[in-house]
Every structure is written in structure tokens, then in C-alpha cells.
Structure 1
Amino acid sequence: MGGYGTQGCPSPRYRTGGVIGISARTTRGLTISGLVALCMFTALALALGYANKARCTGPLYDEWGRSEPAYQERAYGDVCYSDIQNLWIGRDIDRHVFPYVNGGIAADGTLYGGVVEYPVLTGVLIWLGAMFAHTDAGFLAASALLMTPFGLAVAWWLGRLSGWRALLWALSPPLVLYAFHNWDLPVVACAAGAVFVVHRWTSASLRRRATAAAVLFGLGFALKLYPALFVLPLALYVLTEGRGEARRFDVRGALQVVGAAVGTAVLANLPFMLAGFGGWLASFDFQSRRQVDISTNSVWYWGFRHWTDSEGFQSAMGVVSPLLILLSFAVACAVGWLRYERAGTYPWIQVSAAMLCGFLLLHKVHSPQYTLWLLPFFVLVSVRWGWIVAYLVADVAMGISIFRWFYLNMSGLPGGIHDGFTAQALMIGVWGRAALLVGLFVAFLAARSTVDDLGPGGPSGAARALPDLADHDVPISTPGNGDQRGRSRWAR
């Protein structure tokens, strides 16, 4: 009734996050055969994703290795566009120039000398994918081959964390649509791997696990920036776990998490800063110069597109968007703190998910493949299925219709809201997705994590791991001692 069994041990209602050193009772996800099946489903989705993008390649190529005929019309009209194939020309990728070192940004915002508009580790990944390629088709194939292991790793880790719910990753339409749209699978792997380390590296202390996860977040920052958002919730999780009977805040552990993330990001960027500071800075300069326009596909464009030609509007967006994003982060962390005070555990995964929703909604750029960032949280957090299905439907509507709409405009064909279903589907996708991100922000913060629902036998959840008392030193009551100090800490 109050969270304790009759033998003085925590009942199955107790949370299992932060478990260390109890290998015999550690939570587990799928069996090996289940994980293999999950990875096979993921491999199938990745193969379909590659086949979809490869429809835009060949059959002929021009002198620069660009697919012919009518590459751009096919990319939009057949909905097989990918940034990977598109950026083969225009960033010196086709010339196999090592990124950043000898490049920069021109006064008109054009990148040159091998600079790409992505953080350094993604730039290196792009360079590796192009190393032996001589056409955009070869570049797409090599890039897909490089990124496939990361997509499979995400499936494996999510299966270990949340069981068959990981099918939301393996069989989701966004994985087919966006797996090879851009270079996002490696950064998603960093984020998923960090959660796995925190909750499944059972032989290490919480501080050590969180520090290792922070290193992965730092690497993620050097790939696509967004995992840096999750450092603060993780630090608060470590801070509130504390040590000793007095339950003092673990300030040192929290600072260690932040330091590990920052240090890793600096170490990843430092060689490029030293080798070519101007080229390294150019990628950040490029992003800071981006204006709200059709290429950004954000609510700011679709809601205020009649004002996007105004310099005043663009300047205002450079201030309003970041401030609102920071406000959403503050709200998410504050709600997480209220949950901590009520339940005794800081819900860092749920807070991270909500922060990502705030970022996706309010940032001035919302590329289609960003849905891949959100998918793992549909697995890791137990939000209602209606939210997930609705979001995936809205995302598919947007992800397909946006390119068809580009095609109509390029071809001079009618593309207004009253001219056909393309524009209507696009608006359903854009505004449906925006409304759902608002709802998901709230839903994530109110939900529980699925990570620790699984017992050691698999997805039945019949058994739970016990908290490690050596790490947490929380008194557990028995029928004889009457000590109830552990109740608010461990009861859900």
C-alpha cells in the first residue's frame, strides 16, 4: 500500500534508475534473439530508406558526378531528395577536400575550401564518405554504409533499455524517410548510447556512468549539437542522487558531468581550431547567418512568411527564437524539479525529451530529419500511443508534401491551398506537428520512463532491481524498526 512489501524490501513499485553493482538483479530488455530480430527489422527499414533515396541517382552523370537527367526535378517530384546527394556539389565534397582546415565563408555567406555547415565530426564523416566516391550516387552509398552501424546500435540499445517498444524505432516511417536524408544517425546513436550507459552499465557508480554519458553527449555536440541539451538534466539527476544518510546534493558529481561534456566537445573541436580557425568558425558563422525562409521549414516561416523579407523581422527572430527556447528549457527543468521533490527522483529522460520538443518547435530551423532525434524518446518515455501515432502521421504528411510542394513551385504549377491536396497536406503536417510538440512537451513531463519497467527476465516486468544501498545509503523500513525515511525516496 505504501510502496513496501511485507518482508521489508521495496515492492515492484520502486524505481530502478541508478542501480549499480547488482548484476544478478539488473534490469534487462530483450533476449539476444529478440535483439537480433529488432536489428533485422531496423536493417530492413534502413535498406528501404536507402532504396528510396537511391531512386534519385543516375542513370547518367555529368562531368562533376551529378546525376542526370533532371536531378532537381526528380528529387522533389519523386520525393527522393537527400541532403547527402545534394551537397555532393557546392562544398568541395566532390573534390575530396579535407574539411575546415583551408576554408572559410565569403561575404555573401558562401562556404568554400571544404567547409561544411555542420560540426567537425560530421564534417569528417562526410569526408570519409566521399573519399572513394566519384559520383553523387557513390557518395550516397558510401555514406549510407558508414551510418548503418549507428542505426543498428540505436536499435540494440533501445531494445536493451525498453524491450519491444524499440520497434517504434525499427519500424517507424521516419527511419525510412530520413535515415539517409542527412548525417543524423551517428548523433542519435550518441544520445541513445548515453541513456544506455546511465541505466545499464551496472558495475559502475552513478557518477561514473553519468560522466561516461556526458562524454557521449560531448561527442554528439561535435556531430549535430543537440545532445548538449541533455547535459543539464543529466547533471540535475546526478546532483539530486546525493550521497550519505543526509542525502546531500552531489555537487561534485554534477559538475563532473558538465565538465566531461564540455571537455569532450572542446577536445573534438580543438584540432580543427588550431589547424584552421577561420574554416572551423565558418560553419558556426553560416548557421548564425541563416534566416527564416522556406529552407528552414519552421513555424516562424509558415506563420510569418509575409514578413520574412523584412530585415527587422529577421533581426527579431535572432533574439526571440533563442529566448523562447531557453524559456522552454527552464520550464522543463523546473517541472522536473517539482517531480523530484514529490517522487524523490529527477526525471532526466523525460525532461530531456521535453527540452527537445521546445527546441524543435521554437528553433528557426526545423529540418525534416529532426524527427529521428525525437524517435528514441517515444521508446524511452511512456507517453500515450495517440500522441505517437498522431505525430508520425503529421510528420509523414509534412515529409512527403514539402517536396511535392517544392516541385509544384519549381515547375510553375498551381500549389496554393485551394489548388490541391499537396498544400493542404503540408499545412496539416506543419501545424499538426507544431501543436503536437506543444502537447508532447507536457505529456513527456507527466509521463514515466520505460527504461526501468523491465525485469531481468525480459519485457514481462515481473521482477525489479533493488536500489544499491551502498551507493544511496537510504534506510529501508522493516516491520520492526518503523523507519520510513526511505519511503518518499523510492516509492513511485
Structure 2
Amino acid sequence: MTSVRDREEDGRRELPVRPTDEDPLAAAGSELIGGPAGRRARSGGHRWWNPLRVMALAVIGLFALGMAQKASCYSGGWFTTGNEQYIHACYSDIPHLYAQRGFATDLVPYFDRIPDAVSGASTIHYLEYPVLTGLFMEVASWLTPHGGSGQHRAQIYWIVNSGMLLICAAVLVVCVSRTNGRRPWDGLFVALSPALALTATINWDLFAVALAAAGMLLWSRSRPLAAGVVIGLATAAKLYPVLLLGALFILCLRAGRLRAFAAALGGSAGAWLAVNLPVILLARDGWSQFYGFSRTRPTDYGSLWLIIMERSGNPLHGVNAYATALMLLLCAGIAALALYAPRRPRIGQLAFLVVAALLLSNKVYSPQYVLWLLPLAVLARPRWRDLLIWQGAEVLYFLGIWMRLAYVTGTKHHGLTPDAYHLAVGAHLLGILYLCALVVRDILRPEYDVLRQGGEDDPAGGVLDGAQDVFVLGPVPHEPKHVA
């Protein structure tokens, strides 16, 4: 029989964790709205103002601000020959690709070849996006009225895509808020993320990010097959979510849960094939455009390799081999960390590290790639101070890339010189490395981990939560405590 004190302690553990209870920065920031919630504040989920509704309204408001930030481009910057869209930092691929990839003329993605006069690039003959993202773009074109001028239709296409991406942003916030069990308010950082506001409508990455977050949520609910299916769909929209399977494999290997991993892997492969196989069979050339473009794409903005190339003054041959080697080295280090750590890392921590490794080693870093890390950073290190430091570096890079392009395409009176731009790239790389260092420290010293300070093992781990390790390369760890 449990005592009254035990029941009271269990009840406290079941209550949602409020950020003002444990995060000094969140507590200080709450003074703007009356201060932290008191111990007598009602915390039940039956009131209208529950966490999900608050965060839904927050992300809608933030998304609207992000759209307003693009206003000067919407009214003309996207359609002029100058560099206004870079000076005002409001560039978006969406209105440009509406015409350049044949959506304005009803070309069918992957099946219809894009004339060189339309694409503006002799190497782009078909849509260079994964199949599920291509379907997203095509659906948006179906919803775009074909009357009016080309500029008007491109504007409406951007608005339609923005509406669809807003749904993705809301799904992302809901998934993050529900993944870590008793921490629904962790999704608030996603809802209020400056990087989300600035980059959500640059490209279609948010679609894949929302799918990947949904896969993480399903895994946390101990549904590996369903999680694999959704991760497979996310990989059919953008390649990076396949890295989540690598993180799951290492953790399942350590915990002896390879059957669950096999279910996730099978579901992922099946979902990816279901989406891709029809296009492979019927339009192989169009389907392969994305993979060929990714392989032959030169060293581009935002990468470590660009700094090396421009500082040396020589072309960097073999960058694919260098980037691949660095990625494999980083992944090997992450796997060793996961198997040697005194306690099995949480899935959010390992997933964050492996995607960060890709962004650090890749030969290009587009500003919207920050969205790939956003939900994983919140799951890995839910501390507002650290997340804001990282986001500050990403906002600096967001401004830096557009000012660099303004310098390159303009009269040199606006924008950043190469040296100044290299500082912006360095800030972005250091921001990611800063967060990686904290996550690695939390893995090696679990007493610094925010979630494990509260007595939890891995609330997002699903079948891994509370599991006893069976394959460890380091000293045999203590059995983790499982908190329901």
C-alpha cells in the first residue's frame, strides 16, 4: 500500500512541467505577463486556455509576422531585376519556381521536361525536388487561380503555399509539445522561434520537418511501425529524415530493441517505395533529377567548404568526397558516444547530433535548413537561454546570406564583403557547435540533462524509455529509473 506522501509525489510528477518552474530565463521573461505561475495555479487541461491552444495561436501570430516581413518582396521585389529582394532580406524560392519549374504552364512534375528558356538553367530539365515535396508544390498550383498576370499568379501561389505551410507549422508545434510527455510547453519555443518566422516561407522544408516531428511523436507513443511509415514519408519529401533511423538503430542496439527498429525500418522503406516507385517506373529521368542535382551541386553558400575555398583562392575539387568523409567521421563519433555513454542517450539528443553533423559537413547551407534542427534542438536541450543563443547565430546568418547576395548582384554599395560574410557563416557554425557541445555534455554527465534532473529516462523514447541496456562498449551502466 502506498503512503499519502508517495501518492502526493506521484501526483506532482504527473503534472505538466511549466517552463517558469525550472528555466530561469523563462521565469524572468514571464514578468512581462505577471510573473511565473504560482503553486495554486490551476494546471488541468480542461480549460480553454490549455498549452496547445496557446501555442497554436502563438505560431499563427508568429507565422503572420514572418509573412509580413516578406511584404516588400510580395509587392514587387520578387519581380524586379534589381537586388531589392536581398537588400530587404525577403527572398523566397516559391514565387520564382512557380514559373521556372513549369507550374504556371501546367507542366506535370517529373513527367514533363522543362524547356531551358523556362528553367533558366541548362542542367535543370525536370523538377529537382523529392517526390512528396513535388506533390505538395503541384497541389498548391492546383489551388492557384490561373487568371490575371504572371506576377499576380505567382503572388497567389506564394500565399497558397504559405497557408499550407502554416498548417505544417501548427502540426510541428503540436507534435513537439506532445512528444516529451509532461513537457507540453516545450513546443512554445518552436511556436515563438525567430528562425521559424524568417524562413518558413522561403522553401518547402517545413513540410518534411512536420512529418519528421510526427514520426518522432509516434515513436514516443511506442508505435514503431507507424513511426517508420511517417519517417519514410518525410524522407520522400526531404532526404535528411532518414538520419533519424540511424539514431534509432544505435539506441535500439544498445537497449536490445532491434525488433522495434526493424518494424520502423520496414515501415519507412515501404512508405518511401510507395511514394517513389510509381514515379521511378513511369518517369525515371524526372525522378533522378533531384539525386543527380544533389550529387553535382558545387560548393555553395553557408558551408565550411566555401570558406576554405574562398580563403585559399583555389577551387575545391572533390568536395563531395570531403563532405562525405567528414559526415561519416562525425557519425562514427556519435555512435561511439551513444554506446560508451554512462547512460543511454535520449532519442532527441542523438537525433539532434546526427542532423547537426549533416549540416556542419554539407557543401551547402540554405537559411531554411535551420528548420531541420529546430524541433530536435528543443527535444535535446529544452533550455531557453541556450536555444536563443543558437537562434541568434542563425538569425545573424539569415541576414548575412541576403546581404552577401545583395553585394554580389548589386553595385557593391549594399551588402557584405567576402570577409564579413565568412564571419556570418562562422557564427552559424559556432551556434550549432555550441548547442552540440551542451548536448554531448548532457550525454556524458546526465546530471546536467534537464529531463533527467527530473528523474525521467527518455519520455520520447517509446520502447526505449526505461529499457535496460544489453550492448554497451563502456562500463556497465546503472539501470535507468522509469517514471510513468
TM-score (norm 2): 0.77
In 1, the alpha carbon distance for the partners of 2:213 and 2:431 equals 23
Q: CA deviation at 1:416?
A: 8.2
CA contact (8 A) 1:398 1:430 kept: yes
CA spacing shift, 1:354–1:487, aligned 2, 3 Å: closer
Offset from partner CA, 1:288-340 (integer Å, 9 cap, x none): 110013xx321211232256763xx23x201010111121112112211222x
CA contact (8 A) 2:390 2:434 kept: no
The match for 1:224 is 238
CA contact (8 A) 1:194 1:213 kept: yes
In 2, the alpha carbon distance for the partners of 1:438 and 1:486 equals 27
CA spacing shift, 1:10–1:150, aligned 2, 3 Å: same
In 2, the alpha carbon distance for the partners of 1:468 and 1:11 equals 26
CA spacing shift, 1:41–1:309, aligned 2, 3 Å: same
**Which amino acid in structure 2 is aligned with residue 379 of structure 1?**
V
Q: Does 1:317 align with 2:298?
A: no
CA spacing shift, 1:97–1:473, aligned 2, 3 Å: closer
Match of 2:95 among 75, 79, 85: 85
In 2, the alpha carbon distance for the partners of 1:260 and 1:10 equals 40
Query: Secondary structure at 1:94's aligned position in 2?
Result: coil
Match of 2:308 among 303, 306, 321: 303
In 1, the alpha carbon distance for the partners of 2:282 and 2:17 equals 45
Match of 1:434 among 429, 450, 467: 429
Q: CA deviation at 1:396?
A: 1.1
In 1, the alpha carbon distance for the partners of 2:408 and 2:272 equals 41
Match of 1:99 among 106, 109, 114: 109
Q: CA deviation at 1:58?
A: 3.7
Q: Does 1:111 align with 2:118?
A: no
CA contact (8 A) 1:409 1:415 kept: no
**Which amino acid in structure 1 is aligned with residue 124 of structure 2?**
L
Query: Secondary structure at 1:175's aligned position in 2?
Result: helix
In 2, the alpha carbon distance for the partners of 1:218 and 1:165 equals 25
Q: Does 1:120 align with 2:131?
A: yes
In 2, the alpha carbon distance for the partners of 1:95 and 1:104 equals 10
In 2, the alpha carbon distance for the partners of 1:468 and 1:280 equals 35
TM-score (norm 1): 0.76
**Which amino acid in structure 2 is aligned with residue 124 of structure 1?**
L
Q: Does 1:263 align with 2:270?
A: yes
The match for 1:214 is 228
Gaps of 5+ in 1: 17-24, 60-65, 242-248, 455-459, 475-484
CA spacing shift, 1:40–1:491, aligned 2, 3 Å: closer
CA contact (8 A) 2:247 2:354 kept: no
Q: CA deviation at 1:409?
A: 2.7
CA spacing shift, 1:305–1:452, aligned 2, 3 Å: closer
In 2, the alpha carbon distance for the partners of 1:254 and 1:116 equals 33
**CA-based RMSD:** 3.8
Q: Does 1:327 align with 2:311?
A: no
CA contact (8 A) 1:109 1:289 kept: no
Q: CA deviation at 1:442?
A: 2.9
Q: CA deviation at 1:168?
A: 1.5
- The structure with higher relative contact order (CA 8 Å, sep 6+) is 1
The match for 1:338 is 340
Q: CA deviation at 1:11?
A: 12
CA contact (8 A) 1:229 1:352 kept: yes
The match for 2:34 is none
CA contact (8 A) 1:104 1:278 kept: no
In 2, the alpha carbon distance for the partners of 1:166 and 1:222 equals 25
Which of structure 1's runs of 4+ aligned residues deviate more than 4 A?
9-13, 25-30, 306-309, 383-386, 414-417, 448-454, 471-474
In 1, the alpha carbon distance for the partners of 2:137 and 2:191 equals 24
The match for 1:187 is 208
CA spacing shift, 1:473–1:6, aligned 2, 3 Å: farther
How do 1:44-443 and structure 2 match up within 5 A?
44-58=61-75, 68=79, 70=80, 72-103=82-113, 110-112=123-125, 115-131=126-142, 132-134=144-146, 135-160=153-178, 161=180, 162-199=183-220, 201=221, 206=222, 209-241=223-255, 249-293=256-300, 296-305=301-310, 310=315, 313-314=316-317, 316-339=318-341, 342-343=342-343, 345-382=344-381, 385-414=384-413, 424=420, 426-443=421-438
CA contact (8 A) 1:210 1:234 kept: no
**Which amino acid in structure 1 is aligned with residue 72 of structure 2?**
R
CA contact (8 A) 1:383 1:444 kept: no
Query: Secondary structure at 2:241's aligned position in 1?
Result: helix
In 1, the alpha carbon distance for the partners of 2:384 and 2:282 equals 49
Offset from partner CA, 1:54-99 (integer Å, 9 cap, x none): 431246xxxxxx954x255221121110111222232112212121
CA spacing shift, 1:264–1:451, aligned 2, 3 Å: farther
CA contact (8 A) 1:39 1:155 kept: yes
Q: CA deviation at 1:348?
A: 2.3
**Which amino acid in structure 1 is aligned with residue 106 of structure 2?**
H
**Which amino acid in structure 2 is aligned with residue 488 of structure 1?**
E
Q: CA deviation at 1:10?
A: 13
How do 1:20-35 and structure 2 match up within 5 A?
31=45, 33-35=50-52
Q: Does 1:42 align with 2:59?
A: yes
Determine which structure has the larger helix proportion and give its number. 2
CA contact (8 A) 2:59 2:192 kept: yes
Q: CA deviation at 1:461?
A: 9.2
CA spacing shift, 1:105–1:349, aligned 2, 3 Å: farther
Instruction: Report percent identity of matched pairs.
Output: 25
